[in-house]
Structure 1
Amino acid sequence: MALNLLQSGYATLQYEIAEERASALGRLGRRLEAALTELAACPRTANPDRKVRDRLVEQAGYALWLFVVQREACGLNKIDHVIKLYGVPNEVLARMGPLPKARPPA
């Protein structure tokens, strides 16, 4: 009887962990979609908007990195599918990774 309770508790814990992984994956997928949508709305120009676009590319690269890391935590290791499904531009793929540290004001 005690062994059944332990196994039942372990199974419940495993289920809740899997549920949280899936939930996090969904949140990060929506975050990536939002970042890519915002980037798509910003034109590629050489004027002051270029700084805005650079920031959006950086944010999308960060969102992509978070999503890929979470997918790997779930055992999904192939990034090719994500790039194709979400239509990730090469400039975002090149900037995939953590955000640089904020620089202190001069």
Structure 2
Amino acid sequence: MTLRLPQNISGLSTRTAVDVMAAEIRVEKAISLERTGEAAGKAVAALKAAAPSDPERPRLLAEAAEAVWGYFIQRELMGQGSHAAVIRDMGIPREVIARLGARPKTE
């Protein structure tokens, strides 16, 4: 009589270091995506809280555009190319979308 491991755990012993590393990389990517999403959400909320006449509004707008742009790049790196649902769910203003990727002139 021969014994064999149950089918549901027999593959565990054949896991390679590459598989483990790939799993760790996926976790790190997910954490990074969450962080950039939170930063974008906070920046958009700060912009929305500012009055139109607030002298800090241009800075808040630039910060929101930078944070959202970084979030979109991170999403694209993870294969999530469509941002329409994120724009809608986060309520990202058009003025932010219009400035994605734009850099202020530095001297």
Q: CA deviation at 1:99?
A: 3.7
Determine if contact 1:39/1:57 at 8 Å carries over to the other structure.
yes
Which of residues 4, 7, 16 in structure 2 aligns to 1:8? Answer: 16
Percent same amino acid at aligned positions? 34
What does residue range 38-53 of structure 1 map to in structure 2 within 5 Å?
38-45=46-53, 49-50=54-55, 52-53=56-57
Q: Which residue does 1:17 correspond to in 2?
A: 25
More helix as a share of residues = 1
- Which residue identity lines up with residue 43 of structure 1 in the other structure? A
Q: Which residue does 2:68 correspond to in 1?
A: 64
Q: CA deviation at 1:79?
A: 1.1
Separation in 2 of the partners of 1:11 and 1:44? 51
Separation in 2 of the partners of 1:87 and 1:77? 18
Separation in 2 of the partners of 1:40 and 1:34? 10
Change (3 A) 1:8 1:101: farther
Aligned residues: 95
Runs of 4+ residues deviating >2 angstroms: 98-103
**Cα-Cα RMSD:** 1.7
Separation in 1 of the partners of 2:104 and 2:65? 11
Deviations 1:20-58 (A, max 9, x none): 11000000001011101111110112xxx34x1011111
Separation in 1 of the partners of 2:17 and 2:87? 38
Change (3 A) 1:74 1:54: same
Q: Give the TM-score normalised by structure 2.
A: 0.81
- Which residue identity lines up with residue 83 of structure 2 in the other structure? I
